[in-house]
Amino acid sequence: MESFLNITEHLLDKKLGRSSGRGRDSPGSNAGSASRRYSNQSDFPDQPSPSSHGHSKEANPALKKKFLKRLAIALHAYGNSSTRTEYLVEKASRQLNVAASVAVFPTVILLSFQSDDRDPAKPETHLLTVEPGLNVDKLGRADELANRVGMEHMPLLVGYWRLRAIATAPPQFGEIKRLLSFGVAGCTSAVLFFNGNLYSGALAALLGLVAGLFDLVASRSNVFANVTTFLSATCVALLSRLLALYLPARFDLCFFSMTLGSLVWLLPGLSLTVGVSELTSGAKVSGSARVMGALFEALQLGFGMETAQGLVWWAPRVKRACNAATQPVWLQLILFLLYSVASNALLQARWDQWPGMILTSAVGFFVSTAASAVFAANVLASVAIGLTGTLYSRYSGHLPVTMTLSGILILVPGGLGVRGSAALLEHDLLSGVGFTMDMLVVSLSITLGLLIAKIVLPSGFFGSSRLPHEDQMSLAAQMEDDRDEGTEGDEEDMAI
């Protein structure tokens, strides 16, 4: 893919160097009806002729607007937070000399352009629906493109072609590798994070493959995707319960470690953390929606686990606590490396992103383990993750968010939410509320730790998420600007 992008830019630079006139207007695109994933190639119309446009200042407004709409969908669909997406789209619009404003919500983007006659009363507004996802490779490329488009070395047409190449590129890891990664992640997380022994970890690998099959089917069926969380939890928990019931007691299998380990990639820890971070950044609507969505995901998983236990009506219910199994340090290191490999594959990270992601994860894991007895252990681990990811990104040139995502997944607050949901469904109100509050506290700790790291080293995990202060106009300044535009007559008409 990288070689294709380089060849494309080289050919376009040569063509743009010979182009002397402005081309014909490109037809606009009504992206308001886009309701499918943006990674679908049909979301990107046939690319315009390289000879029809020059640099971004010479490109026609229709192409600029089309590009910004596609860019907004790309940034949000590949895993950026709402505030980060808003910042990048507004930054790209300024670089392209387009007056635009954007509001991003978990599944909807509102993008408004000023009309061609510069009348602020006649904005051109687009409603873009998007299915959020997570792809570290494409997220890094799209974020870099948003920062560079409109510059001398990245004219609009080159940026449009690059965005098209990003969108239509195949995933880094296919279905078989992704399925195997579910199994590896289930095995290692059951032992590392959920107090399972090696027997529980081995069976969690098989159960992780089952969860991976459900994920594979969900990616091909929108109807099945709506219930895949519940069905995955029910099926995995049922198999886990039967294995724990009928295998010899000497294996000391733990129902919760096997179940939560195999479902680790469905746990809502990352989405909950992003939602809390958006609330902290002032994005109340999108943040609240993400937090409620994460809590509902945890409720579905907990409901599936309780349903599975109810299906095994002839056996007594299992206890929620597992006997902590202590593993030697060398084995924990091996399991951690295997989990990092599986996590990077599931995040669709490029090979050159792996060293930084593994390093950041290792720092977070060891700081969290060493400070486990401290209340602010997650804050300390998050600060370490943010600092490590930012420092490595400055050395390697990668986006900081891609370096820190895998580190955040190490802290997995979602498992607490599932335990809380299961306790609530058992009418254990006190334990259920306690687990849920613990999950929110962990997410808040992660967010605060990353924000502290961002203060120490700017351009941390979430990057810039607000316009510079000098670019924001107060209401009084806007009213004075209206007076300068000669709207005294309108003010008289509105007077009572």
Q: What is the pLDDT of residues 37-49, one digit of tens each?
A: 333 333 444 344 3
pTM of the model: 0.75
By percentage, how much of the chain surpasses pLDDT 90? 21
At a CB cut-off of 8 Å and minimum separation 6, what does 252 contact? 197, 199, 323
User: Following DSSP, what letter does each residue of 131-192 receive, concatenated?
Assistant: -----HHHHHHHHHHHHHTTSTTS-HHHHHHHHHHHHHSPPSS-HHHHHHHHHHHHHHHHHH
Whole-angstrom distance, CA of residue 394 vs CA of residue 404: 13
Residue 470 has pLDDT above 70, yes or no: no
Q: Which of 267-281, 391-405, 428-442, 460-474 has the highest mean pLDDT?
A: 391-405
User: Following DSSP, what letter does each residue of 330-382 receive, concatenated?
Assistant: HHHHHHHHHHHHHHHHHTT--GGGHHHHHHHHHHHHHHHHHTTTSTTHHHHHH
* 456 or 99, higher pLDDT: 99
pLDDT of residue 45: 40
pLDDT of residue 55: 45
Per-domain residue ranges of the chain: 2-168, 175-456
pLDDT of residue 121: 56
pLDDT of residue 3: 52
pLDDT of residue 288: 83
pLDDT digits (tens, 9 = 90+) for 148-181: 898 888 888 889 999 999 999 998 898 999 999 9
Residue 4 has pLDDT above 50, yes or no: no
CA distances from 465 to 286, 461, 473 (A): 14, 11, 17
